[in-house]
Structure formats: structure tokens, C-alpha cells
Amino acid sequence: MAEMHSNDWHSCSKLLSVMVCVLLVHLIIQTNGPGRPQAHLVTKGQPHKPPPICDVSYISGTVNALNSTSTPLELYHTAKRWLRPWSRHRHGSFGITTEQVERLFETINKTDVGAVRFVVRNGRPKALPVRFPRSIHYQSRVSFWQSLLERLAWRFGLPENLDAVFWTEDQPQIAAGINTVSLAPLFVSATLPGFFDVPIPTTEYYSKLAKMDLHEVVAKKRWEERQARAIWRGSPTGGWFASYNWFTYPRSKLVNVSLHNPEIIDAKFLPCAWGQCADDVWPLIQEAFPEHTDDTHFTMEDYVQYKFVISIDGNAWSSRFVDLLRTGCVIFKVASPYLEYFDSFLIPYRHYIPVATDSSDLLDKVRWAIDHDEEMKAISIAVQEVFYRSIGNGVWEEYASLMLEEYSKLLPPEPSNYILEKYSERFRYDTEFSEHLRRLWEHE
């Protein structure tokens, strides 16, 4: 009996050893991350580190942030999550066919909005020449998408089978549903819950992160030297501002809160942008908010002078939000339904302070922030950690490259020749911009 127990013990010991080895191998694989090799994801720019304002000893005691070595895995899982509706790992052999991309492109072309489709030829992105509707609002966004793909081709290379459609408008287009999952993903700058549009960073908003380095500016302005006020500057956007409704918009309500509490909330309207206001609205705004209208240009360096900054949507998502993440300010983010690729990395009250859509709780939260300076300093450090780990120093380009690579894995492995032949034919170009696309297509 004793011998039997001894044999059982040895068998269990061997089994336990095998299980431990399997677990260790699994952990090693998870740490290194699937997909591209780590070396392929190394940024050529500045090293991934927090800005000089951060006191490392203070961070270790207050911030529970991921180590920078986990960045590739973090980005990989984010890309996979956005592509989940089309992932063949969830739907057997179901991926994305050329016909699905074609259906998506044709569906959009039937509407009075704009999108551009890119394929790869000889390692370079090519925009397919199509007739753009005359009413397209943002024709320049085609050039921004083009410059993004050119940049990715130079830094990482592009998949030869890439065939993707990029959106040129503000609002998402493809509502989630059984019918729309039969279309390919539509790449957008920002999306909404309940839509199949996939957000991806673009040079239109993210290239300025490289053009204007705030490292030194933020480092020179210590937290203790900043003004304890919440700052906001912006024009009247979010809809058509008319004499009968201008005061109902979220931005107007924000400025109204500032009107009664200017000592801690400094929110001012800039003049109306073209196409946003009726002719008589700006005088009405100036009359209602005489001390809270301004025409002075406000820079990112100006924001750094303050401890707190307010982010609020306009016509769509706040494109300034990604820029504010690196200012060292604590961001009071007015509730927004819009999602950019990095939203899952941000945790309320750890990386920003959420505010109600009508700013009704803003005053109380700013007062609380002023009374809890150490907690606010911790948030200032934490949000910069997230920015430089998941967005800054060219990480946004790494993510865009990774997203397109994962997307291309769902496409047929070889580029479709009939697409190249079809769109190489001459069209009757009925707009000047369509002619511009033709020149992009024919340029080698």
C-alpha cells in the first residue's frame, strides 16, 4: 500500500512539473506578444519614456501603469478587438473578401458623401480614381489618408494585398447589423458605439504631435507653478447656431457655467467658424457673454500654464483631445459618445475627470480638484504615462501599421487583378477633385 502511494506521488509530481512548464511557456509567449516581432515595432524616434515633469519615485507610489515593454501586446489586442466582427477566428473560415470591399465602396458611392479606396501597387498606396460627389465636405482628407499610408510604407512597409476604404466625413457611416457585417470595415478617425466603422489615427490630427514637441515646455512648467483654473477656448460648433437655439448647445452651456464662476473656470468662445452660425448669432453671443468671448489664438503652450483643461465635442469628436493628453493638465472631459483607437487605454478618474454633457457638475468637480492637489498631480502624471506609451513618440504610427496588417490578414493573400484593371480605365471625371485622384493613381 505504501509503495502504491509512493508511485502515485511520483506520478503527480511529474504531472505537476509538466503543468508548470506549460504555464511558463504560455507566460513567455504572452509577454512577447503575438503578431510581428518586437524589433519590428521599435520606434525610430525618441525612446518611450515619460516626459521630464514626471518624478519616477512619485509615479511608482501613485500610478499603476503598464510597463512600456507591454505596448506591442496592448496595441495588438486593441486592433484585434476592433476587427472582431470580421475575424475568421470567431467565424470559422470567414474573413474579408474583395467582393465585400467592393460592396462597401459601392454602397458609399451611392450616397452623397465621400470615401477613398486604397490598394498597394509596387509597395506604394494608390487611391482608386472615382467620381466624388460635389457636396463632399472634406476633400483634403483624401490627401491626409494618402500621406498616412505613404508614411507607413516608408517606416514599416504596407501589405501587398491591402485593399481598404477610408472615410472623409465626421460622422460614422456603417451601423452595426447582420446586413452590414457583410461589408468590409470602413476606416474612420473616430466612431460611435453600435457602428462597425473602425477608428485609425490619421496624419490630419496626429502629425502635429511630431511637429510640436511639448516635452521641454511641460518640463519647465512645474505642477506647483501652474494656475489652478480650468481653461477652455473654442468656437461655436456642435450644430447650426441660430438666434433661437445657440444657447442650447453643450459649448454654450459650458461658457455659461464659466460666466458665473470665472475665478476657477475660464471658458471663452472664439468667433464663429465658416458655415457654423447665422449672421446675427455672434453679436448675440458677445452680448450674452461680454467677458467670455475672445479672438486671441490659444496655443498648446498656453494650456500648459494651467492645471486643468476642459475637452468638449464640437460637430463630432474633439480632435484636440489627443493633443491635450500631453500637456500635463488634468483633463475635464465632457461626456462624449465618440471613440478613438486609444479610448480603452484611458480610465475615468485615473487619467481624466468625466463631466456631464451639460456641464452641470463641472463646478463641483473643479472645486474638488483644487482642494485635492496631490490626487490631481497623480492624474497629470498618469495621463502622460498613457500618452507616451500608447500614442506619442510615433506609437500611433505603429498602431496604424499594426491595424492595417491585421486587417490584411483577413483579406485574400493575393491582390485582385480585376480591381486594378477596373479602376485603371478612363472615367468621365465630373469634378476637379476626381481629376486629382486620377493623377494620384497614374503617378508612379
Q: Is the pLDDT of residue 46 over 60?
A: no
pLDDT greater at residue 214 or residue 310: 310
Stated as kind and residue range, the H or E segment containing 382 is: helix 373-390
| Residue 434 pLDDT exceeds 60 | no
Say whether 15 sits in a helix, a strand or coil: helix
**Residue 92 region by backbone torsions, left for phi larger than 0, else alpha for psi between -120 and 50, else beta:** left
CA separation for the pair 107, 115 (Å, rounded): 10
The reported pTM is 0.78
Q: What fold is seen in the domain 212-390?
A: Rossmann fold (3.40.50)
pLDDT at 177: 76
What local confidence, expressed as pLDDT, does residue 318 receive?
87
With a pLDDT cut of 70, the percent of the chain lying above it is 73
The listed range with the strongest mean pLDDT (28-42, 72-86, 111-125, 333-347) is 333-347
**Cβ contacts of 93 within 8 Å, gap of 6 or more:** none
Q: pLDDT tens across 134-151, in order?
A: 555 667 788 889 999 999
- What pLDDT band is residue 44 in, cutting at 50, 70 and 90? very low
Q: What is the pLDDT of residues 378-432, one digit of tens each?
A: 999 999 999 999 998 889 999 999 999 999 999 988 776 666 666 655 443 334 4
Ordered by start, the domain boundaries in the chain are 70-201+395-442, 212-390
- Say if residues 423 and 128 touch (Cβ distance below 8 Å): yes
Whole-number Å distance between alpha carbons of 49 and 414: 39
Segment 279-318, tens digit of pLDDT:
999 999 999 999 999 888 888 899 999 999 999 998 888 8
Compute the half-sphere exposure of residue 433: CA atoms within 13 Å on the CB side of its CA.
18
pLDDT for 382: 96
All three cell numbers of 245, joined, read 437655439
- Give the cell for residue 12: 503527480
Q: What is the pLDDT of residue 37?
A: 29
